[in-house]
Structure 1
């Protein structure tokens, strides 16, 4: 069985440490079957990056991560020619300058293409880069090969990696790129799913505390005008603090939905504008007697 077919036979069903919804597991398996990159969007804190880690762990695959920055160029994912080092070595009379291959630095796609075992390749936050970045990878991700001009060598994937690409929707991606991907949007977890996620991280947590904490959390997320809504990681940090400080459930239960800021709110609200907004909402609620 060749590497590509072997990869297409794999099935992802989530892991003990990652609560994957039915539609997410379906999307992962569809991308594997179609042998297309899985493009995952969703607000920060919905587990997009962690998904690649969990897919690799569940399927027993290697993981190669390419974290994209605003200055990242697509070429860096293939290879880079280190002309500066070659010039320096030539000035020193080093014999290795005769072979230009000594100065070709492999990128993350190259590493994934020649990996010894089937691999998950994570291209994280692709929307941070220049708008041309996705288009510059079209052929390489499509054909699973690229040409090294300096050496005249074609690098071809020994086995097709499972490619997972994340985006925070900071900018629109080109249509030609989108056509080559299987797309999935991770919706923010509802209260029942979030309770399952919390149980994974805090087994046996008291249901009264969990119930009140989730009510306060979603209430805060729904406050109009928040600059940054708290995500799953903020909720987990907050719960950890509540447990360490032994905050009782009744301390979270306000008489009115917006009559008080939750204790230890610094784990949930990350800028002064949101703190001031919530304080104003609390003041208005108290003033109106609601």
Structure 2
């Protein structure tokens, strides 16, 4: 393994991230105060039993291992494209588990997702209602800090001191906190986003920082350095944000997944390390089956052959093969019944392909 590699792909957890080479000068960050990494270890880093299993059994190809390490060393996002079922999202969990980087921060993208959704959420209405309730409990008909007859808060520290109570960082915003070790952020299915989102991400991912205007407005009215205690995406323990600015220290390991349904702007692509996952060959499929199931190689070979033959004419996912192997094994079927059930469990994913039978 090259000396600059820390991720091995063998799924055994270790602290090799501490040996990560220094970043390039143009990708060095100095956010403060330095936060300790999350205390979650081993399988808990995958959040759920399903994700824990996928992280533990992920089979990484040599090209995948090399490009994951390139993204880690260069402090660049990893754009992972490939057909459904090739393990794009599972890769993030596998890296987090092996390198002991804590729970994966996951941002599921839809056509309505915006940059602010990933950075933080602020609820001004809940803050207004809370101010009114506090004023009523104090016997004041008008909440402190509200301009008479307007229903709008006045500017100044008294109007903004409780902003942080109604603000929570999103997965991207949490990943960019100044942790001593990189966090893992999965931006899943970015190709489903609005056309503007990839461009909106450029500055944040390039600079490794962002601002929270609501907290910055509060800081303008105070002479000393102001801090706010805000909740992060994956914990109920507040983190400190100084004067409304967040800057990373260890650049997060960002995995952006795409099914290849759209093209991305050149400016976005040049800031990413690009990994194209291909459908596994026979050897890789056998290793994947061995990792996921206790099915003897001889019992799996027949369905692996059928899967590969079928996949030559249409789009199939590895999950379909695993489902067929598991269910036929549990059912204890004879050969003909097993094949008939496998036919039903492995239809084509493409709407244009014939999904009936083999």
Query: For this structure pair, what is the TM-score category when the shorter chain's length is used for normalisation?
Result: 0.7 to 0.9
Q: CA 1:275 to 1:68, structure 2 compared with 1: closer, same or farther past 3 Å?
A: closer
Partner of 2:9: 13
Q: Aligned equivalents of 1:41 and 1:273: distance in 2?
A: 20
Task: Look up the SS of the partner of 2:97 in the other structure.
Answer: helix
Number of paired residues?
Answer: 260
Q: For structure 1, which segment, 211-220 or 265-274, has the greater mean C-alpha deviation from structure 2 after superposition?
A: 265-274
Q: CA 1:184 to 1:272, structure 2 compared with 1: closer, same or farther past 3 Å?
A: closer
In the alignment, structure 1 residue 145 sits paired with structure 2 residue 204: no
In the alignment, structure 1 residue 199 sits paired with structure 2 residue 277: no
Structure (1/2) with the larger helix percentage: 1
Partner of 1:167: 258
Give CA deviations for 1:157-189 in whole Å, capped at 9, x if unaligned: 132211111111122222111110000100010
Which structure 2 segments of 5+ residues have no match?
12-55, 136-143, 145-157, 217-243
Contact 1:46–1:186 (8 Å) recurs in 2 = yes
RMSD: 2.6
Q: Aligned equivalents of 2:76 and 2:353: distance in 1?
A: 43
- How far is the alpha carbon of 1:131 from its aligned partner? 1.1
Give CA deviations for 1:216-262 in whole Å, capped at 9, x if unaligned: 11222223xx5xx22111110000011112235x5389xxxxxxx74
Q: CA 1:208 to 1:172, structure 2 compared with 1: closer, same or farther past 3 Å?
A: same
- How far is the alpha carbon of 1:113 from its aligned partner? 2.2
Residue correspondence of structure 1 range 238-253 to structure 2 within 5 A: 238-248=324-334, 250-251=335-336
Of 299, 318, 333, 1:232 maps to 318
Partner of 1:258: none
Give CA deviations for 1:73-107 in whole Å, capped at 9, x if unaligned: 11111122212212222332457864233332211
Give CA deviations for 1:42-63 in whole Å, capped at 9, x if unaligned: 0110000000000000011122
Task: Look up the SS of the partner of 1:122 in the other structure.
Answer: strand
Q: CA 1:192 to 1:142, structure 2 compared with 1: closer, same or farther past 3 Å?
A: same
In the alignment, structure 1 residue 211 sits paired with structure 2 residue 301: yes
In the alignment, structure 1 residue 266 sits paired with structure 2 residue 344: yes
